[in-house]
C-alpha cells in the first residue's frame, strides 16, 4: 500500500463548478501538507501549504486537513479554464526527516 493515495482522474468539470480534490494517507506522523499545481510541460508550483489540522483559504482555493481520517482536500471555487492542470498533494513528517511523500496527481480539466 502506498503511503499517499490520490485518484489520478481525469476530472472534467464545467466552468464555475466547485472542485474537490483529495488525498488519503496512511502515516499518522505526517504533519505538513502541501498542494502543488502542475501545468502541462511545466514543473509543479506550490499552491497551498498547511501545518497539522484545519483549513486554510487563499482566494478561490481552500485546503483542508482531517488528521483523524488521514485525509486532505483541496477545494477550488468558481473554477476557471486556467485551473486546468494536474494537482499533486505532498506531505512530510515533523522533525529532521525532510523527505516529501508525493501523491501521483489528479488531472483536472475545466471546460468553458
48 binds another protein (CB under 8 A): no
Triad 14, 69, 22: Cα angle to 5°: 20
Residue 15 has phi, psi (to 5 degrees) of -55, 135
56 binds another protein (CB under 8 A): no
Q: Which helix (H) or strand (E) holds 65?
A: strand 61-66
61 binds another protein (CB under 8 A): no
Measured from the CB atom, is 25 or 44 closer to another protein?
44
Task: Determine the interface stretch with another protein among 19-27, 53-61, 62-70, 86-94 (rule: CB under 8 A).
Answer: 86-94
What torsion, rounded to 10 degrees, do the Cα atoms 46, 67, 98, 5 define? -70
Site for another protein in 92-111 (CB under 8 A): 92, 98-100, 102-105
> Which listed residue (10, 16, 20, 46) binds another protein by CB under 8 A?
46
Going by C-alpha positions, the residue among 63, 68, 61 that lies closest to residue 89 is: 63
77 binds another protein (CB under 8 A): no
Amino acid at each position: 500500500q502506498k503511503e499517499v493515495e490520490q485518484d489520478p482522474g481525469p476530472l472534467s468539470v464545467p466552468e464555475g463548478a466547485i472542485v474537490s480534490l483529495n488525498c488519503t494517507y496512511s502515516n499518522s506522523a505526517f504533519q505538513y501538507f502541501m498542494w502543488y499545481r502542475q501545468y502541462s510541460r511545466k514543473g509543479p508550483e506550490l499552491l497551498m501549504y498547511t501545518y497539522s489540522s484545519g483549513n486554510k483559504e487563499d482566494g478561490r482555493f481552500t485546503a483542508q486537513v482531517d488528521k483523524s481520517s488521514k485525509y486532505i482536500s483541496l477545494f477550488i471555487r468558481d473554477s476557471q479554464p486556467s485551473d486546468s492542470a494536474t494537482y499533486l498533494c505532498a506531505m512530510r513528517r515533523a522533525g529532521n526527516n525532510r523527505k516529501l511523500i508525493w501523491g501521483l496527481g489528479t488531472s483536472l480539466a475545466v471546460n468553458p
